[in-house]
Amino acid sequence: MKVVAENRAHGGRQLVVEHQSSATGTPMRFAIFLPPQAEGGGKLPVVWYLSGLTCTHANVTEKGEYRAACAEHGLILVAPDTSPRGDGVPNDEAYDFGQGAGFYVDATEAPWAEHFRMWTYVTEELPALVAAEYPADMERQAITGHSMGGHGALTVALRHPNRFRSVSAFAPIVAPGQVPWGEKALGGYLGGDRAAWRRHDAVALIEDGARVGELLVDVGTADDFLDTELKPELLERACAEAGIALTLRRQPGYDHSYYFISTFMADHLRWHAERLAR
How far is CA 196 from each of CA 35, 142, 171, rounded to the nearest angstrom?
39, 26, 24
Is position 256 annotated as part of the catalytic site? yes
Helix (H, G, I), strand (E, B) or coil at 242: helix
| Cα–Cα distance measured from residue 169 to residue 150, given in angstroms and rounded to the nearest whole number | 5
Which one from 147, 151, 201, 272 is the annotated catalytic residue?
147
Q: Which helix (H) or strand (E) holds 237?
A: helix 232-242
Find out whether 85 and 115 touch, Cβ atoms under 8 Å. no
| Cα–Cα distance measured from residue 38 to residue 44, given in angstroms and rounded to the nearest whole number | 7
Is position 200 annotated as part of the catalytic site? no
Which one from 57, 256, 268, 272 is the annotated catalytic residue?
256
Bridge partners for 123 per DSSP: none
| Closest of 48, 110, 103 to residue 76, by C-alpha | 48
Report whether the peptide linkage leading into residue 111 is cis, meaning its omega lies within 30 degrees of zero.
Answer: yes
Strand order of the sheet with strand 214-220?
Answer: 2-9, 12-20, 27-34, 76-80, 44-50, 136-145, 164-170, 214-220, 245-251
Active site positions, annotated: 147, 223, 256
